[in-house]
Amino acid sequence: MRIISFIIGLGSLLLAACGGPDCKKAEIVELGPGDKTIHSFSDSSFFSDISCIETDGTGSIYVLDRKRSQIIRLDEDMRLLSVIGRQGRGPQEIGAAISFSVRNDTVYVGDAYKRGVLMFTPSGEWCGMIDMKEAFPYFKRFSVRDEGSICFAACSGQERTSLAEYDRPSAAMTRFGQWTDFGTPAKNDMQNKRSVFFRDGQYIAVPWSIPVVEFYDAATLRPTGTLDLSEVTPVKEIYLEMTANREIRESPNMWYVFMEDTYLNRDKLYVLLNPDEGTADEFKTGSVVLEIDLSGPERFVSRKFSLPGEHLSRIGVTNNRLYGFSPDDASLRRYPLPE
């Protein structure tokens, strides 16, 4: 196992790199109520806990119901196309999954019970399993590359790294990634978790407890830069509120999360936030989705989508629509995005 370690103190993360991501005034776009909502599967059983939403570039939407251990594939009008997997511990069943990835007509499912990645076709046929005993993708979004490498969150306090890359041809595991000391083992494990994406030869890692986006060279696994979000409204307000919470700060087994989900669609990165009432004056109570433009050398927040009265826990984005799961009424909702 190879280790590439970068240790960062919490204070140094927040040194502003601005004229940064919010210096170009981002457009605030209010998304009205979704134009379509569904609450149940085709057999009339209701959604329970949607833990991940994916798209495949063809218009299909994939939704993982964690309690059912099943993925449903829908068309863009949210009509059922196929069901992938079923709950169980058999060779072609899903034992315990929270996240998955879709790449080149293959659905990759991180399974904690089987300690590996299960593979299915979009129509639900079994393709096999990648056995990864040492570490495996489970909690956050992970990336699968064409040549077979899998990059995922794998916090290690011992090596002080936050990510791991598994090379399928050699079965070699390399640990790397920036790691922050939050003071206790539980905080270090939970607050160093990241979603990982691959784009143009780089891994993009988005922590859910640190207001930053990290970029790594996929060939060397060394950092190439960061995008500081600590001065972006409402990230700044939520982050200050979380870090000032005395109960969380003083308990060794409590932690905070505020970048609740992240999604990459082509050259746009989307970050889901849920500010409390009154956190930021320019946003009403409800979810906010930041759109970050990665198309040029100067990465910046281009738009902020406000969803007044809507509370989303997971998102997936296509070129013209945003899909979100609302835990308040266990519904999957569709929102048209303006051009």
Mean pLDDT by 10 residues, the chain (339 residues): 49 43 77 88 71 92 92 93 92 92 94 93 95 85 92 87 94 94 93 96 97 97 97 93 93 94 97 76 80 95 94 95 93 93
Q: What is the pLDDT of residue 21?
A: 58
Q: What is the pLDDT of residue 39?
A: 85
Contact 185, 131 (CB under 8 A): no
Domain coordinates in residue numbering, the chain: 2-336
Phi/psi of residue 121, each to 5°? -80, 160
The residues near 199 (Cβ < 8 Å, ≥ 6 apart) are 264, 267, 294
For residue 275, which of 315, 312, 238, 236 has the smallest C-alpha distance? 238
Q: What is the pLDDT of residue 292?
A: 98
For residue 203, which of 180, 219, 192 has the smallest C-alpha distance? 219
Q: DSSP of 119-185, one letter per residue?
A: EE-TT--EEEEEE-SS----SS--EE-TTS-EEEEEEETTTTEEEEEEETTTTEEEEE-EEE--SSH
Q: What is the pLDDT of residue 14?
A: 43
The residues near 310 (Cβ < 8 Å, ≥ 6 apart) are 31, 33, 34, 286, 287, 324, 326, 333
Angstrom distance (rounded) from CA 182 to CA 162:
13
Contact 109, 150 (CB under 8 A): no
Q: Which superfamily, per CATH, for 2-336?
A: TolB, C-terminal domain (2.120.10.30)
Residue type, 6: F
- pTM of this structure: 0.92
